[in-house]
Structure 1
Amino acid sequence: MKVLVAGANGHTGQLLIQFLHEADYEPYGMVRKEEQKQRIAELGGTPILADLESDVGHTVKGMDAVIFAAGSGSSTGPDKTTDVDRDGAINLVKATENFGIKKFIMLSSIGAGRDLNQMAQDNENMKHYLKMKREADEYLMSTELDYTIVRPGGLTHDPGTSKIKVAEEVEFGNIPRADVAKTMIAAIQEPNAFHKAFEMVSGKVQIEEALKSL
């Protein structure tokens, strides 16, 4: 099964490429710069050069599933957040639809489905970030794709445990990026995760079991 990962050069994106390869998928990593291609190949993926802010049709053609794991990053301003986290995500969703691919997995954020004033309080940058994530999520939910929207808590570089807690809303906590990546991969072929949006943090339930309980 061919799986495209947008944002493949990011921390979570690289884990997705690695874990997809280890699970005998055929991962393809979308990157923006020529010098990023070697790392994707080293992880077992096939690099594809593209920019989410332009035409991405060639990246999704022939894929069986698409994963959005891109982000503007904490060092950029609100304009870039809009361009990547909302418009870039929607651009990729549209391309996925146009090429008849059914499965789309979105990496969102805890709080994107909640009251933004309550979640972000006086942090205008965080409020804008969550708003852009929400609008991308809502666009995806309006399509006929078999989507899964994953909204993790604080991302860490700790070793994964493969044990998580999932629900429409969970108490804020942290979760290793490795467990987020493994959850997104497990959602590719778990029908109970289709047409679902859920928050997740570290917990006590194995990933596969947690998805079946949604």
Structure 2
Amino acid sequence: MSTIAIVGGHGQIALHLIEQLRARDHDVVALIRNDAHTSDVEQRGATARRLDIEQQDADAFASVFDGCDAVVFAAGGGPDGNIGRKRAVDLEGSLKSIEGARIAGVRRFVQVSAIGVDLPLPEDTDDVWRAYVEAKRDADVALRESGLDWTIIRPGRLTDDPARGSVTLGDSVARGEVPRADVAAVIAEVLHTGAGIGRQWDLVTGETPLDEAVASA
């Protein structure tokens, strides 16, 4: 059993992840900005701690990571057209999480990114989408260079479909969809088994049972 902090603890993947980790007897600290979200995470078995990703610094991140054995960065700037939030949350939030983990002495770090963010973007790419992709790309670069025991999960297009329990997972896979519940299950499997340190995997729905996919990727 370990204690795992989730940055972006009220996000859709995070809420699935809380349940997945609790089912394996891990303790979960869900980091939330809005007190109104406390009951949602506590009902799923997590402990809520307050963290404003955009306003607080790395020392504050380190403080809320106190007593944790791993950090999952699952935060995102949301679906709106605010370019500034893509940088403030998806990139700077990740950078502060990485530094906060270092300060707190937490070595294990799993980051939720997005498939294909290393690929060149067409010249006519929408400005908001460009900001999102570049933020995720740069956050992944920073984590790979951090010296932490990192894993990066890059899911395809996220859906709210029920979990299938079978995926395609690898260094580079064809684009596709994947339920948020299966993304959470892969993260939980990685944390529970210790698999994937120093690895970056694309993730979409597939035919391989999830535990086998993680073990063989």
TM-score (norm 1): 0.94
User: What SS does structure 1 have at the residue aligned with 2:4?
Assistant: strand
Mapping 1:11-26, distance limit 5 Å: 11-26=12-27
The aligned amino acid for 2:118 is G
The aligned amino acid for 1:142 is E
What is the aligned partner in structure 1 of residue 148 from structure 2? 145
User: What SS does structure 2 have at the residue aligned with 1:56?
Assistant: helix
Say which of 76, 92, 100 aligns to 1:71: 76
User: What SS does structure 2 have at the residue aligned with 1:164?
Assistant: strand
Say which of 164, 167, 173 aligns to 1:161: 164
Q: Identical aligned pairs, as a percentage?
A: 27
- Structure 1's consecutive aligned runs of 4 or more residues displaced over 4 angstroms after TM superposition are none
Mapping 1:51-200, distance limit 5 Å: 51-53=52-54, 54=56, 55-115=60-120, 117-118=121-122, 122-200=125-203
What is the Cα deviation at residue 112 of structure 1? Answer: 1.6
- Alignment RMSD: 1.4
The aligned amino acid for 2:211 is E
User: What SS does structure 2 have at the residue aligned with 1:150?
Assistant: strand
- For the Cα contact (< 8 Å) 2:83–2:127, is it kept in 1? no
What is the aligned partner in structure 2 of residue 9 from structure 1? 10
User: CA, structure 1 residues 23+192, in 2 after alignment: closer, same or farther (shift >3 Å)?
Assistant: closer
What is the Cα deviation at residue 76 of structure 1? Answer: 4.1
Deviation per CA, 1:91-110: give whole Å up to 9, x if none: 01111011111110000001
What is the aligned partner in structure 2 of residue 35 from structure 1? 36
Gaps of 5+ in 1: none
The aligned amino acid for 2:142 is Y
Q: How many pairs align?
A: 212
What is the aligned partner in structure 1 of residue 207 from structure 2? 204
- For the Cα contact (< 8 Å) 1:32–1:50, is it kept in 2? yes
